[in-house]
Structure 1
Amino acid sequence: METIGFGGGCHWCTEGVFQALRGVAQVDQGFIRSEVPWEAAAEGVIVGFDPAVISLATLIEVHLRTHSANGTYSPGGRYRSAVYVFTAEQRAVAEIAIDQFASASREAPRTLVLAFVGFEPSAPRYRNYYRTDPQRPFCRRYIDPKLDFIRRHFTDNALPDAAAASADLAPPRTE
């Protein structure tokens, strides 16, 4: 197993996205800190995954395509777009993936590659937010479109879901 952190948008959304992927064994949502000047806690998830089933590069691509990786929305800095790395090897993979994403989108990336320093989990009532009640209006409006996007564009990596929507849906809505 390997561990990586992701921040971008609401951690309820980010948690739901990574829980929908094959090879992801654990997703812990909460608040991640890095080094100065990024030491303030921001919403994010810590993902435990099996690199024999899903690559780090694929996880990063999913992350970049399911939140506003090039946008500027971040109220109070708590929605930092970032990949939180634990090793130099992860840093190299993340930098390449972000550069490729930026080149394909023709926009400068705002997603940062940051060292993981600390994590504080969310309150228990917020964990597994999507899984505990996917019918919540927030889930239907923000998370469902992201999951539909994964099912369409990352079919080999998506977990099966009998409730999957048709391929006619629009791309995910980002916060």
Structure 2
Amino acid sequence: MVIKTSKIGFGGGCHWCTEAVFQSLEGVEKVEQGFVASTKPNNDFSEAVIVHFNFRCITLPTLIEIHLLTHSSRSNHSMREKYRSAIYTFDDVQQEEVNSLMVGFQRNFNDELITKVLPFKNFESSEENFKNYYFNNPEKPFCETFINPKLKLLLQQFSGFVDPRKVVHLKN
């Protein structure tokens, strides 16, 4: 049997947070944490992840909805250069699909989504000691303060997609 995988990039908040959210999902094969750049005027690197997923287990619309709900997708704050709210696509077909999905998702929000749909251009990986940060350090104050609430949202709204082995400590 051939496994059907695809990839998509997500940026919006700290890449430790974004990495942990997508690592917690069934059907996500790999999450690359680092910095992504697009085309001008978004060609500066910004914290992001590349998510490799089995689209027979979890769909692109589900991944996008999770992304929109687990970072400030409607807030243009002062750290947007470092934490660009974006979905990075890898080809024209994916770009069209994501643009179409974003129109549909906008209907679910009262405030305007600021998340940009951008073509992926470059990636720089994080240093090794920052990768898999949450699952190596779940008791650190940063993880408890910023990542746990995102994972709890996953359990509440997307429990059918959460890998129970990865978030077992949150159920207490």
Whole-angstrom CA distance in 2 between matches of 1:95 and 1:83 = 10
Mapped contact 1:74–1:80 kept (Cα < 8 A)? no
- Return the offset for 1:155: 1.2
Whole-angstrom CA distance in 2 between matches of 1:158 and 1:106 = 27
**Structure 1 residue runs of 4 or more that deviate by more than 3 Å after TM superposition:** none
Aligned to 1:91: 95
Q: Which one of 104, 107, 112 corresponds to residue 103 of structure 1?
A: 107
Aligned to 1:141: 145
- Return the offset for 1:76: 6.2
2:123 is equivalent to residue 119 of structure 1: yes
Structure 2 residue ranges without an equivalent (≥5): none
Give deviations 1:1-37, integer Å, cap 9, x for gaps: 2111000010010000000001001001100000011
- The alpha-carbon distance between structure 1 residues 97 and 26, as it changes in their structure 2 partners (threshold 3 A), is same
Aligned to 2:36: 32
Report matched runs for 1:4-43 at 5 Å.
4-43=8-47
3-state SS of paired residue (2:159): coil
Whole-angstrom CA distance in 2 between matches of 1:82 and 1:104 = 18
Q: Percent identity?
A: 42
- The alpha-carbon distance between structure 1 residues 114 and 76, as it changes in their structure 2 partners (threshold 3 A), is closer
3-state SS of paired residue (1:77): coil
- The alpha-carbon distance between structure 1 residues 87 and 20, as it changes in their structure 2 partners (threshold 3 A), is same
Give deviations 1:120-139, integer Å, cap 9, x for gaps: 00111100010111001000
Whole-angstrom CA distance in 2 between matches of 1:74 and 1:38 = 16
Aligned to 1:157: 161
TM-score, scaled to structure 1: 0.91
Aligned to 1:172: none
Aligned to 2:83: 79
Whole-angstrom CA distance in 2 between matches of 1:74 and 1:94 = 26
Letter in 2 for 1:163: H
* RMSD over equivalenced CA pairs, Å: 1.3
Give deviations 1:97-136, integer Å, cap 9, x for gaps: 3222221112211100000000000111100010111001
3-state SS of paired residue (1:134): coil
- The alpha-carbon distance between structure 1 residues 64 and 87, as it changes in their structure 2 partners (threshold 3 A), is same
Mapped contact 1:9–1:79 kept (Cα < 8 A)? yes
When structure 1 is superposed on structure 2, of 76-85 and 133-142 the one drifting more is: 76-85
Whole-angstrom CA distance in 2 between matches of 1:76 and 1:153 = 26
